[in-house]
């Protein structure tokens, strides 16, 4: 892993109690899907084995993580922050004892959210122009393997953990240092992946089967959806216009990106694919208010020295909303 570096200048230039919550559940009828055309730009740093774009804000700053072949073999990664021709990798301070650094999201205030782990535990951090800041750990040892996945402009964070003895993951919201935990009504597992500046949360829920369905949590109510004809649907992000982005798996076990507009009142699905024959699987991890997206292209197994390619993409003019 590289020595930790300062991100203060690049970022400036680019711009505890817990309780369970119950809520109502609604599932609108699925709409017929359409497709959108995007211009894709591959994110593939020199010597990278795998790269993933995980967050993209309205300033078109994007973040993610990347690993060389040696890092991939060792199970370690570096975070990165980028915009246009600027690209810089970073790691949390070595004094923290980290063996890995992930960058999972960036807010519209240019605050990066991520994770770092030691040999015994996972921890969260934020990174802004003043440097790195540790997030509070979940104050309950029975809630293990947390992921800090999304952050909005107010600094509210969403993620997931895995309770000991539970039937699956549960979602959480971290606000002003306090964790609140959520399970969708009737679900055996719930995951929170993204949050917009209005406080809408998206993710994935699991019920009787092992196949996931998309999830929206808005003002105390859970809504679920599934891409028509898919065997698995997961939502990763939602922008301030309420457009939801994620991925679905078809009956041939190929992954495709999707954008869902107008949900839940007037839902309309759109497929978005990278159309890369070597990396045919498309996963959208992030969307901003201009409908720009970022994510991962992956193959059906390793492709030479590469596992995954990151991407950012913008809609062709005729498909901008």
Query: CATH number for the domain including 193?
Result: 2.120.10.30
Assess if residue 3 is contained within a domain.
no
**Which helix (DSSP H) or strand (DSSP E) does residue 131 occupy?**
strand 131-134
Residues in contact with 267: Cβ distance below 8 Å, sequence separation at least 6, in sequence order: 28, 30, 31, 225, 260, 261
- Asked if 314 and 40 count as a contact pair (C-beta separation under 8 A), the reply is no
How confident is residue 306, by pLDDT bands cut at 50, 70 and 90?
confident
What would the pLDDT profile of 196-206 be if each residue is shown by its tens digit? 999 999 999 99
Tell me if residue 21 falls in helix, strand or coil: strand
Assess if residue 21 is contained within a domain.
yes
Residues in contact with 20: Cβ distance below 8 Å, sequence separation at least 6, in sequence order: 181, 182, 183
Dist. CA 68–CA 90, nearest whole Å = 14
Dist. CA 80–CA 309, nearest whole Å = 14
Residue identified by tokens 């999972």 is: 104
Q: What is the pLDDT of residue 7?
A: 45
Assess if residue 19 is contained within a domain.
yes
Q: What is the pLDDT of residue 167?
A: 75
User: Which residues form the domain of 186?
Assistant: 8-319
Cis peptide before 253, with omega less than 30 degrees from 0?
Answer: no
Assess if residue 2 is contained within a domain.
no
Cis peptide before 201, with omega less than 30 degrees from 0?
Answer: no
State how many domains the chain has: 1
Q: Which two tokens stand for residue 210?
A: 């092992």
How confident is residue 75, by pLDDT bands cut at 50, 70 and 90?
confident
Assess if residue 54 is contained within a domain.
yes
pTM of the model: 0.89
């Amino acid at each position: 892993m590289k020595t930790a570096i300062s991100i203060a200048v690049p970022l400036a230039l680019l711009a505890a109690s817990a309780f369970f919550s119950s809520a109502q559940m609604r599932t609108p009828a699925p709409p017929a899907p359409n497709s959108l055309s995007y211009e894709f730009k591959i994110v593939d740093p020199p010597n990278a084995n795998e790269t993933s774009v995980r967050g993209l804000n309205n300033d078109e700053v994007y973040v993610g993580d990347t690993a060389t072949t040696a890092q991939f073999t060792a199970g370690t990664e570096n975070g990165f922050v980028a915009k246009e021709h600027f690209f810089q990798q970073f790691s949390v301070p070595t004094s923290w004892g980290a063996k890995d650094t992930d960058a999972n999201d960036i807010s519209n205030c240019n605050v990066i959210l991520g994770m770092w782990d030691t040999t015994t535990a996972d921890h969260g951090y934020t990174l802004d122009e003043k440097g790195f800041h540790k997030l509070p750990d979940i104050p309950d040892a029975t809630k293990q393997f947390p992921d800090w996945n999304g952050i909005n402009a107010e600094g509210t964070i969403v993620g997931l953990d895995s309770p000991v003895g539970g039937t699956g993951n549960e979602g959480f919201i971290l606000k002003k240092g306090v964790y609140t935990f959520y399970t969708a009504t009737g679900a055996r597992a719930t995951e929170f992946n993204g949050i917009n500046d209005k406080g809408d949360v998206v993710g994935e829920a699991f019920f009787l089967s092992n196949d996931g369905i998309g999830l929206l949590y808005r003002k105390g109510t859970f809504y679920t959806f599934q891409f028509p004809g898919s065997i698995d649907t997961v939502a990763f992000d939602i922008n301030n216009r309420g457009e939801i982005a994620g991925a679905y798996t078809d009956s041939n076990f190929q992954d495709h990106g999707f954008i869902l507009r107008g949900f839940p009142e007037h839902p309309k699905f759109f497929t978005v694919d990278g159309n890369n024959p070597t990396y045919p699987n498309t996963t959208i991890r992030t969307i901003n208010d201009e409908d720009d997206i970022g994510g991962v292209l992956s193959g059906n197994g390793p492709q030479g020295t590469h596992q995954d390619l990151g991407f950012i993409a913008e809609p062709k003019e005729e498909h901008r909303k």
